[in-house]
Amino acid sequence: MYKLKASVIKEFLVLIRDIPGLIILFAMPIAMIIVVTLVQDSTLKSISDSKIKILYIDNDNDILSKSLKEGLLKSDIFEIDTAINTFSQAKKEVASGKYRIAIIIPADATNTIRKNVKPIVNNIFAPSNKKETNFKKPEIIILTDPTTKNTFRQTVISYLQTYTSKIETQILFKILAEQMEELTGTTPDLIDKPIETIVFKEILAYEKETSIKPNSTQHNVPAWTMFAMFFIVIPLASNMIHERDNGSFFRLLTIPGNYLTVLGSKTIVYLGITFLQFILMILTGIFILPLFGLPVLNLGTHPLALIITALASGLAAVGYGILVGTITETHEQAGVFGSVSVIILASLGGIWFPVYAMPAIMQKISIISPLNWGLESFYDIFLKNGNITDILPEISALFVFFIITILIAYFYEGAKRLRF
């Protein structure tokens, strides 16, 4: 214990005097969690905050174009610019990146829809072999900047499609009403708003009663906490290589004692760091993220399960860091291998992209990532109000991973010297 305590003090002093290392360990994850949560809070919400500039060319100047324009403005997501009125100019502006999207409503679009109404009504009563199918459809052109991300493009186009479809129905009703007025001489009640006969009600299927609501904070805080914890691999591996390079490791090998004491002290100090990272991330979720208008982090009602998950995840991260520090020979190797492997494990583990949305093969592979185990355990607590029993499989896996990595590092180090 005396040697372990001395070794822990030494590790602690070495660590706190490594300022760049501390910045990597604490400041970067906090910055990352704030930025990513803000960005991911909600694609459309963030879009509405900054308002997307749309170039709108109205060649129709009738109900369709006016209603669409009105709808887009009402949506609070878009800002309409009508300064340009030709296709070629619009194409130039979007290509140059000045506008992300341009919408061009063709001339006579509303009239075309109007002309379609009569055959549509006739079709209702016509026998199936005499139905009119050859409708002329107005073509709304959407010009998009090729650098715009697919997901964003799809979101905007889907929004436009949904909205135009509502307007189309409205126009049909309006024209139908006009025609009825012509036929009957009485003005029917116009339906100003689209009819919604079906509404969706989402119920979150919790196994237990909880006040937790899934949101970007509940998703992002655990995800980036796991990522930050595993980034400890770089300073930890670097610390081990530095120790080897400057000869102090050689001196330690000539001193009576077990190598496990050295590994134990590193584990204790760096586990403490991961736990501190966890606390900082939690505090960020509770106090800092709300300052940016993001939801407050809800910790659930099982703090012990949360602490155990943080410790098990920290142990797995430290074990992996010690293994990387043992098998790599230079700072360059440790830096590149450490960071790339953590990024791969994070991608597989669902840190950036949910595992359920991955291709089937990747979903199967994702179970090898310890970041996935930690994240699932955090999600059990943060999103499902899970308790210790619920997280037992994940934390057991994390603990076994730690033991395996430490044992490999221990025996690899011994074997390395025998291989000389």
Partner 1 sequence: MVRLENISKIYKNSTEFAVNGISLNINKGEIFGLLGTNGAGKTTTFSMLCGLFPPTTGEIYINKLSVRTQISEIKKIIGVVPQSIALYPTLTAKENLFFFGKMYGLPKNELKKVTEHWLKIFGLSQYADKKIKTYSGGMKRRINLIAGILHKPELLLLDEPAVGIDAHSRLEIMKELKKINAGGTTIIYTSHYLEEAEKFCTDIAIIDKGKIIIQGKPPELIKEAACSNLEELFFNLTGNNTNV
Under the rule (CB under 8 A), what is the footprint of partner 1?
A: 2-3, 5-7, 9-10, 13-14, 17-18, 243, 246-248, 250-257, 417-420
Number of Cβ atoms within 10 Å of the Cβ of 58? 20
Our CB check for partner 1 shows the closer of 41 and 243 to be 243
Cβ contacts of residue 342 below 8 Å, gap of 6+?
A: 227, 230, 231, 233, 234, 371
Nearest-approach distance from CB 42 to partner 1, in angstroms? 45
Nearest-approach distance from CB 321 to partner 1, in angstroms? 19
Our CB check for partner 1 shows the closer of 17 and 149 to be 17
Q: What is the 3-state secondary structure (H, E, C) of 285-316?
A: HHHHHHHHCCCCCCCCCCHHHHHHHHHHHHHH
Question: Phi, psi (5° rounding) for residue 147?
Answer: -80, -10
Our CB check for partner 1 shows the closer of 252 and 311 to be 252
Our CB check for partner 1 shows the closer of 158 and 246 to be 246
Nearest-approach distance from CB 30 to partner 1, in angstroms? 24
Q: Are 275 and 228 in contact (CB under 8 A)?
A: no
Instruction: Mark 14-25 as b/e (b = at least 16 C-beta within 10 Å).
Output: ebeebeebeebb
Nearest-approach distance from CB 330 to partner 1, in angstroms? 16
Our CB check for partner 1 shows the closer of 11 and 380 to be 11
Nearest-approach distance from CB 18 to partner 1, in angstroms? 7
Nearest-approach distance from CB 242 to partner 1, in angstroms? 9
Question: Phi, psi (5° rounding) for residue 349?
Answer: -80, -5
Our CB check for partner 1 shows the closer of 6 and 367 to be 6
**CA gap 166, 251 in Å, rounded:** 77
- Among 35, 73, 38, 47, residue whose Cα is nearest residue 155: 47
Nearest-approach distance from CB 256 to partner 1, in angstroms? 4
DSSP assignment string, 251-281:
HHHTSSS-HHHHHHHHHHHHHHHHHHHHHHH
**CA gap 373, 396 in Å, rounded:** 9
Nearest-approach distance from CB 211 to partner 1, in angstroms? 47
Residue with token string 């990272």: 277
Greatest Cα pair distance in the chain? 107
Nearest-approach distance from CB 410 to partner 1, in angstroms? 16
Our CB check for partner 1 shows the closer of 30 and 252 to be 252
Our CB check for partner 1 shows the closer of 22 and 32 to be 22
Q: Is 321 exposed, middle or buried (0-12, 13-18, 19+ CB in 10 A)?
A: buried
SS3 of 58, please? strand
Report in angstroms the alpha-carbon separations of 287 from 136, 217, 237, 292, 294: 57, 12, 32, 10, 10
- Among 349, 362, 381, 372, residue whose Cα is nearest residue 210: 381
Our CB check for partner 1 shows the closer of 250 and 352 to be 250
Nearest-approach distance from CB 326 to partner 1, in angstroms? 16
Our CB check for partner 1 shows the closer of 234 and 317 to be 234
Identity of the amino acid at 89: Q
